[in-house]
Structure 1
């Protein structure tokens, strides 16, 4: 009886112990599963963080490259700015030297003006005196007709191509210069001929009196020329002209081979 009572008790103990073992094993299995799940999540998070760190490192390198390039550009710009600043300083110094030279020259000019203050008055008076009389100068070419003469009588040559006629003292219609004031005048004239076996001769006349004569003979095919000049003391109203001598010829064309000129050297 006693053994029979103990057996069921033992059986109950074994059943209870087995139940406890199954509950403990199930609990351990659940804990292990949770740990692996958490480890997996931690591993995934670690991988994600590594990827982010790698990207950040790449971005940091790219940023560093841009910063380095920017620093290089800044260095170039700073070098250029430094060069320009030096150039500006040199330019300022050069301008300063030029300013000093200009100031020195201005002072020299002012000194010369002061030194020449006295001589200026007589010169100005002389200029005013000269303006009381007309300024006289003329120069004219003969014409474009080619051969002129010979004629049976002495003929005044009419230099019709006027180049200069200051004071209007020369008359191209008559070929005569009339002195507007008493004074000393300079006159120049020439002769030119291209025809073969032709004598050429022209004369400078003052009030119908010959003062000079040019003469030549063209004895072959070609041309000849001669020129001369005179300084004459002329009274107001005196006339001066060039005369083609009797029986002689001259030649002129668009090349202005024959010229009659004169001007007032100074009044008296």
Structure 2
């Protein structure tokens, strides 16, 4: 009976020691060798009275060591659990931060999508304008090609058109006339004679093609108190009669011009009537000019 009571007391002490370790009182590290020896001695004194066998003491010590070891393990598990909770809290904060960043990114993506839609609309408008410009450019190019063709045609016509123009001086010999009969003035000083259409030998211009021709002349007479007269003939028809009287107050000058429609082979020339004179020298005071305006 006494042995059973001592064993029960020892178990109660061990249970109390374990409870103190779990509640934060005594831990495995707080139990000293002195306390162990006190418990052993206390139990031993009782065991001396109850005659407990040595095997029971060994088992009790083993149970106590196991209790201490379990308390230490529980303490470590508590610390590990605290560390895990701390890490979980940090992970939750990271998740919240990532969620916040994700919200910001979604907002920026939405803005980017709106900008992209605006750019698409602008691009569509630009494409429409480019297409319209290309259409206009095509029309302009067609018109330019037509204009270039017209220019080429005009160039061809101009190239095919005969080059007809002349400018002549009468003489360097001074006064010509007066004569007893009408004479054809022979302009012997050839300044230009494109197409060789004027003959200084005969004094006659011959039309190389049918067309409109321009003619002009200038005349000087240095005699005083006389009439100055000159004719322009188309074939055998007098088409121009220019005259002026010199009253003795200087030289007498005549000038005139006209446009004639000529057929190919028609002739034009100037005639000095009988009894009249003209004057010319190196300054070309008396001249005869003409050129083709356009073919007909």
Please state which band the TM-score falls in when normalised by the shorter chain.
0.5 to 0.7
Matches within 5 A, 1:101-112: none
Matches within 5 A, 1:1-268: 114=141, 116-268=144-296
Give the SS at the match of 1:131. Answer: helix
Greater mean deviation of Cα atoms: 218-227 or 229-238: 218-227
Give the SS at the match of 2:155. Answer: helix
Displacement of 1:194 after TM fit? 1.0
The 8 Å contact of residues 199 and 249 in structure 1, kept in 2 or not, is answered as: no
Separation (CA, whole Å) in 1 of partners of 2:258 and 2:289: 11
Separation (CA, whole Å) in 2 of partners of 1:201 and 1:116: 54
State the superposition RMSD in angstroms.
1.9
Structure 1 residue runs without a partner (length 5+) = 1-110
The 8 Å contact of residues 195 and 221 in structure 1, kept in 2 or not, is answered as: no
Displacement of 1:199 after TM fit? 2.1
Structure 2 residue runs without a partner (length 5+) = 1-137
Separation (CA, whole Å) in 1 of partners of 2:258 and 2:191: 20
Separation (CA, whole Å) in 1 of partners of 2:238 and 2:218: 15
2:113 alignment counterpart = none
Q: Which has the higher Rg, Structure 1 or Structure 2?
A: 2
Displacement of 1:221 after TM fit? 4.6
Displacement of 1:123 after TM fit? 2.1
Separation (CA, whole Å) in 2 of partners of 1:140 and 1:254: 12
2:10 alignment counterpart = none
Give the SS at the match of 1:191. Answer: strand
2:4 alignment counterpart = none
Separation (CA, whole Å) in 1 of partners of 2:255 and 2:171: 18
